[in-house]
Structure 1
Amino acid sequence: MSNLFQFPEASHVYQQSEVELDRELGVATLNMAPQPRPAFTPELLADIEAFQKEVAHRVRQQPQRRSPDIRYMVLASNLDGIYNFGGDLSRFLSLIRAGDREGLLGYALACVRAGHRFSVGMDLPLTSLALVEGRAQGGGLEAALSCNVVIAEKGTQMGFPEVLFNLFPGMGAYSYLSRRIAPSLAERMILSGRLYEAEELYEMGVVDVLAEPGQGREKLVEYIAEAEKHSSVHGLLRRIHSSHNRVPFEELRDITELWVDSALGLGERELRTMERLVRAQDRRTGQKLSRAE
């Protein structure tokens, strides 16, 4: 994308992401770069919340303008080959072993709030897009699905591994999937534990737009340019979706509470499986560098 600027006068210091603004296209992008592994760390969640609030503030400051500076907000990744692996499993392990329900629920609800704000476009004339250029698992895929439009590069792998440690993805997967595809198919996908390629998910209706490998950013610009040509129709569909296909926050909260109670009931065998997944993530990301590097 061209004409990229960081938000001027933003009070939040972005620690695990990079924010860009393309005024020409009306696009604000948050590129995730969490550490020490590509998960939703508290720092990344704070970045996302600040980004969403800053975008909303800018849109509300220009209500009289027919075409505000920001009409689209994009959730992308700055990591080569990885979108996001989802929940911070290392944090899960610590909280579960400590029996800390309040801490686990607080973390989970922070993830849910971030996804819900993307799903409703901050209740403003905003379209949220997920640009998936690398593997998205668990909460990473949930975050992508919370966006109004999912753009993914061919060959990209996505899925929910939670069933491997006898848990389910509890921060929006079922709610967002069942608005896109049949609930029975959503359940099948969640229970399979397998990774799906973007092409298969596109045929299922989970992914909205396919891009050639390495061409995700170009496809994003192309999609937005086409959407701008038919902005009235897109705006009407967004309003209809918000009225008749909206995911209520209360639904997400109730499912998340079920997830927390289920997580706290996991046995040592399941927790050891979770530990192995953490080690696998560390091995996979050991030599991954940010795009900026």
Structure 2
Amino acid sequence: MRESDQLSRYPMETVNLASINQKPSLKQATLHLNASLGTAVFRMQPHPRPCFTPTLLDDIRVFQSHMTQTIRVDYQTKGHSDWRYIVFASGDEQTFNLGGDLALFVELIEQRDREKLMDYAIACIDGAYGFHSHLGQPVTTIALVEGNAQGGGFEAALSCNVIIAERGTHLGFPEVLFNMFPGMGAYSFLSRRVGTSLAERLIYSGDLYTAETLYDLGVIDILADEGAGDIALSNYIRTAQRRTNALKLLRHVRQNYNSVPYEELLGITTQWVDAALNLRQNEINVMQRLVRAQNKRAAKLAELPQNSLRQAT
């Protein structure tokens, strides 16, 4: 599937011009728009666990569709758009995202429901490809990692054009613990950044790495001080605004000579689905233990005062 084919999910004739200037309705995320910086900041707030629930995946689809349509209409009506940076972040100060919905995985694997598992996997790669292809628009997608990112959470960050991560955060792929591999883009996105050998080592180790280590390895683009991710984001944007021509050229070169085609993501995630359906019971038990750990993490988060959550940038 070509980029133009994948983005045709948002055909122009479906645009309701009256709704373009309204924020989309999101159930497990918030959207903060900053016209002066040209940023649209999408902050995940999934529940009951800090993972990619089907509802959060649908919010990502709605958000990407809304911003794509908004930018297209801007260019059609006034020749430019104020929105130049799409920021993917979390509302949780301690967790970016812990990855796939393991509880759903276990349920679908036990039911042998390949169709629904494939639907979930495709929803994941659709979102990842949207960020990777910068929505097919002249924008830069930025992952703002202010908390730990595991599995699909790390994959989602890798799908963005730029990764900003705070010191002290940990990122990695724990899938090998239950005899699986991250199937929603990890290999593709990592290998484009650091080469196949290092990508395979990071994936196969199952270890969590500090943001500092991943910055030194070239995985992370910008290392922010702890609690200062939003400052690093603002600094990056102000620098980029002075180098618009260079940024435009870099985006063009990346998309034409180092991009991940949608077909590659689809092929890998199809293999992931087939492998998941062949997991043994002891491996499923490991997934269930991880779900219980995520539930404990979510319960602790629920006890925090609401104003401790990140709402805007």
Q: Same fold (TM over 0.5)?
A: yes
Question: 280, 286, 297: which is aligned to 1:267?
Answer: 280
Question: 90, 93, 96: which is aligned to 1:83?
Answer: 96
- Say whether residues 1:135 and 2:143 are aligned partners: no
Equivalent in the alignment of 2:54: 42
Alignment of 1:243-258 (within 5 A): 243-258=256-271
Per the alignment, in what secondary structure is the counterpart of residue 100 of structure 2?
A: coil
Per the alignment, in what secondary structure is the counterpart of residue 225 of structure 1?
A: helix
Q: Tell me the TM-score normalised to structure 1 length.
A: 0.95
- The 1:204–1:292 alpha-carbon spacing in structure 2 relative to 1, beyond 3 Å, is closer
Question: 9, 18, 22: which is aligned to 2:30?
Answer: 18
Amino acid at match of 2:52: F
1:191, 1:249 → 2: CA distance? 23
The answer to whether the Cα contact below 8 Å between 2:46 and 2:53 also exists between their aligned partners in 1 is yes
Cα offset, 1:185, TM superposition: 0.6
Amino acid at match of 2:272: W
The answer to whether the Cα contact below 8 Å between 2:90 and 2:310 also exists between their aligned partners in 1 is no
Q: Tell me the TM-score normalised to structure 2 length.
A: 0.89
2:39, 2:46 → 1: CA distance? 22
Equivalent in the alignment of 1:118: 131
Per the alignment, in what secondary structure is the counterpart of residue 214 of structure 1?
A: coil
Equivalent in the alignment of 1:3: none
1:35, 1:8 → 2: CA distance? 28
Alignment of 1:1-293 (within 5 A): 8-10=21-23, 12-63=24-75, 65=78, 67-288=80-301, 289=304, 291=309
Cα offset, 1:292, TM superposition: 5.3
Report Cα offsets for 1:193-252 as digits up to 9, x if no partner. Answer: 010000000011110000000000111011011011001000100001000011000000
Cα offset, 1:9, TM superposition: 2.3
Cα offset, 1:38, TM superposition: 0.5
Per the alignment, in what secondary structure is the counterpart of residue 74 of structure 1?
A: strand
The answer to whether the Cα contact below 8 Å between 2:87 and 2:142 also exists between their aligned partners in 1 is yes
Cα offset, 1:122, TM superposition: 1.2
Cα offset, 1:117, TM superposition: 0.5
1:30, 1:239 → 2: CA distance? 24
Cα offset, 1:126, TM superposition: 0.9
User: Which stretch has the larger CA shift, 214-223 or 281-290?
Assistant: 281-290
Cα offset, 1:57, TM superposition: 0.9
Cα offset, 1:68, TM superposition: 1.5
- The 1:214–1:292 alpha-carbon spacing in structure 2 relative to 1, beyond 3 Å, is closer
Gaps of 5+ in 1: 1-6
Amino acid at match of 1:256: T
Cα offset, 1:67, TM superposition: 4.8
Equivalent in the alignment of 2:9: none
Cα offset, 1:281, TM superposition: 1.3
The answer to whether the Cα contact below 8 Å between 2:48 and 2:298 also exists between their aligned partners in 1 is no
Per the alignment, in what secondary structure is the counterpart of residue 18 of structure 1?
A: strand
1:285, 1:157 → 2: CA distance? 18
2:257, 2:195 → 1: CA distance? 16
Write out the 4+ residue segments of structure 1 that deviate beyond 6 Å after TM superposition.
none
1:93, 1:229 → 2: CA distance? 49
The answer to whether the Cα contact below 8 Å between 2:142 and 2:161 also exists between their aligned partners in 1 is yes
Cα offset, 1:284, TM superposition: 2.2
1:9, 1:285 → 2: CA distance? 31
